[in-house]
Structure 1
Amino acid sequence: MARRLYDPGPVKRALRSLGARVVLLLTVALLPIGAIALYQTHEVRQQAELRVALALQALTESAVRNERTMLQNADGVMAHAGAAMALMADDPVTCTQLMQRFLSGNPEFVFFAFSRTGERSDCMSSADPDMRGIAQIESSFWDKPERNVTADFRGRGGEPLIIMTYPVTRSDRMIGALRLAITLSALQAPSNSLEEDGEGPVELITFNREGTVLTSTTGLADVAEKLPRDDRLADFVGQNAFSFTGDNNKGERRAFALVPILPGTLYALGAYGGSTASLGPVGMPVPAWVFPILMWVVSLIVAYTAIEHLVIRHIRRLQREMLEFTKNRRPPEPSHAPDKPQELRDIDAAFLTMTETLLHDEAEMENAMHEKIVLLREVHHRVKNNLQLISSIMNMKMRKTSDPETIRILKRLQKRVLGLARVHQGLYEAQNFNSLDITDLANAILEEMEQMTADSRKPVQIIREINPVALFPDQAVPLSLLLSEATTNAIKFADAPEGDTPWIKVEIYADEPDHACLVISNSIDMTTPETAGNRGLGRQLITAFNSQLEGELNITRENGVYKVAVRFKVASVVPAPRDY
């Protein structure tokens, strides 16, 4: 009987496959390499971003170089003037001359003035009425006097001016403030256009400590749209140079670079677009983790393809050959695949040798089995012939004797001998010695019994209900003998009331999966007492045959029916030989 292999299902079968395990092991092997690659890619990206950020800061520094030089120069001038004002602030004439001298030495400045604390200015480089308003310092400045830079549009002809305010102290006491005006055109003259090579900022904005925009290379009309959306300019005050990315208020993606012009007072903010808007390295638009993933996927594809081509497809072919050999015992054809690994060639050769050995051994076993079957058929045939010879000898003895009792005993003995002969005839006619269907054998025995009752003066009706039951010969023989003996007794003692025909009923059927039953019933005349013959040799033989079957014997006599019932377990393997 072929063993049925456990089927784990398609999912577990796929997970247990060679390909899946190779993928798992390769994933574990590539995990450290992937982690190193991810770390290195991250580091390279960070270094590239840092270089881009530094480059943007350098570009912004270059774009505001002229403004820084001029404003730092102005800051130095105001520092020297502040020191002088501490000595001559009380002399307006000398102060005015000093303002004019400072202005003549620095033609980029258009106005210079000193104002006492809370008073109008009486010390200025020019008495031009258009400029006198610039000298007046707002009262809010005196509440918190700090160096500051603002924009003013009160220059000659409405020309924009950049106003620098510088507090002046004497002995740590505020005495006034200096104001210096620079025209915007003079401040931006050397850098009035962006870089011609396209790498300069899209917008360049300067703002003071309050976050007020002073200048913009694209004009002040729409400067609010060019500022960072999520940051206030005042929040950048006090910080060193740095770069960041974000959207402006117009929704455009920009990279911003902040550069201090006068730390704590004036700052420049450059906005960059194009490939620099992400602060990422050029040519790396994808995240850093994509490259290790791609490396892992490509490695898996290459490894799985190699395993599939070199191993798995040959194993599948070998599996098909094994299944084909299991079904029809056809040996496989030798494989001559040139790309097959040597180890698989050795497995193929071993399998081919195994199939040839199995076929040779099976052929020898079939020959030996055939010889045994022929021998067993001959044995059963000769035993049947010998039993028939004994029956013939008994016939000769019965013809030579005139004693009725002797004749009766010999006939009874002859029936038992013929019953044995019938069993051996059924055995040598059977196609399978390991499993014998009791149906044909039982019907043949009952047909002979019917023939005997037909020839006798006492007709008996025989009712048969024989169902197929497969038995090993070691159980079929005692069951057939028990059937013959019990049926003979039933025919002998079958009786019925006046006017009725005696009958016997024979039943053979399977009871539950592993049991079988033989039931022989016959009619009796309840007015006739039980005879002593029912406890004679026939009963002893029935008990002996039941003992060989290891069955349960039940004999009853009620309601005009005499019943012999035997229930036994059908052997699932060939029983061991026993001596009786």
Structure 2
Amino acid sequence: MNASSRPPVARISPSFARLSTGIKMLLILSTALLPLGLMALFASIQSASNNRLQHEADARIIATGSARQIDALIGRNASGLRAVVDADPRTMRDCQAWLTALRQSGRRDMRFALYDANGRRRCATPGYSVQSAQAPRGGIGTELLLLNDPPAIRFTVPATYGAAYGVGELPADLLRQAASTGTNSHGVSLTQGDTRIELERGGRDGPLDQQVTVQSLIAGGQAALSMTVNINSVSAIEVLLVLLPMLMWLAAAMIGWLVVDRLLLQPLGQLQRAVSDYRVEDGPMQLPRLTTPAHEIRDLAEAFRQAADELVGHEAELEEGLERQTKLTREVHHRVKNNLQVVASLINLHARGSKGDVASAYASIQRRVDALAVVHRNHYAEVEENRGVGLRALIGELAANLRATAPAEAAHMTITLNMTPAFASQDVAVPVAFLITEIVELVMSCDPQGTVAVSLLPGPEPDRALLAIEGLGLAISSCRAHPTMDRFRRIVEGLSRQLRSKLVYDGDIGRYEIEISIVPEHQER
């Protein structure tokens, strides 16, 4: 049988098989749902058009009636106010009496005022606070203005003869009563430019309701009344519109599930289990046999296999590089520690042949070099654990070195320790060692027979600790007036900035205190 004699389906199968899975699903679903979609589209367009036209017509009649009620309310009060303006009361008392009578003829919350030809207010009812108002424009009769705070309508009425004019304000409650439609489902508002007064807040009666908004002009087009009406009638055609989407969804769900389950979900599930169970130490990835026409999934499985092979190679390279880096780090720390010991030994040799201030200077330098050497020695000891420098061992060894290198007059000075186990980075350990060295050396100079207490206690947060150095010598006047005090302050303030914390000094008890960063316990393990 030649190609031309085969059925059409057989002829298009190779072309269809080469399409991606997403396009296959789109073609199948589109073909299956096309009749239902056309039926729903035709029914919804016809029903929506008829219903909306009818409800718009009904809403426009209601909005026109409400607009006429507001126009009538404005017209009645404008006529009364114009009569007062034309009467031209001569005295303030007469002016106030006329406006009070006009207010009592309506509602007490209405506000009126009269202005002369120069725009000065002659009199006003209680609650009217505007001192000057712009005269109405000629040729439009009663001029209307919407107010936001408080919401109201302000209308300006010119005198029949002359330049005097009156101003009235109708509050929103009075407007709401005039425009009321007798139902809570209609939303009514007045608009004028960017100003909007909401008289009734409408809402949807049901989840399937639609809304129609119409407008009607008031005061000769100076403002507009907007009304929003709910469309909630349900007809037979609308019931059909409700059922058709459900039928479409059911058909789409069944067809989509069959296609996705056979072409995507089952092969992807096999691939997911193979990838989840894979471990780098297992060697090359063994993929299951995927029985799917989707070549994208087969390509994805092959990509996973290649990535796993590359990961095995990279893992081996990383392990080798990490081992080399560890050896290099240990060698660097070892050489730094040895170099510091050589420097300390050279300083010690020079100090033996010196006397007086020179010997003291050599001793001071040696103590600082020893402090740095202690930090490197402890950091070198913890490099394999990678948890930082142990502050308890560091400060203990530092205290022993300070006592050993103390001058003769401070040979019996006592250094007590109260340390909680804690670890810190090298960036914190170095300034801590220097800070303790500086403060203890100051006490050796001004109170050589005294005692220094160094404590490290838990701080307010898991990654903070409180370091305190206390001694009676730090509180006495001889230390405060020591010749090196200015240099000492600059040094310890610089060290506190390195620790990113404030160094607190209590002169009454001779105590320096600072918060330092430490490695939290859960990171040490």
Please indicate the TM-score interval, normalised by the length of the shorter structure: 0.3 to 0.5
Q: With the length of structure 2 as denominator, give the TM-score of the two structures.
A: 0.45
Larger radius of gyration: 1
Q: With the length of structure 1 as denominator, give the TM-score of the two structures.
A: 0.41
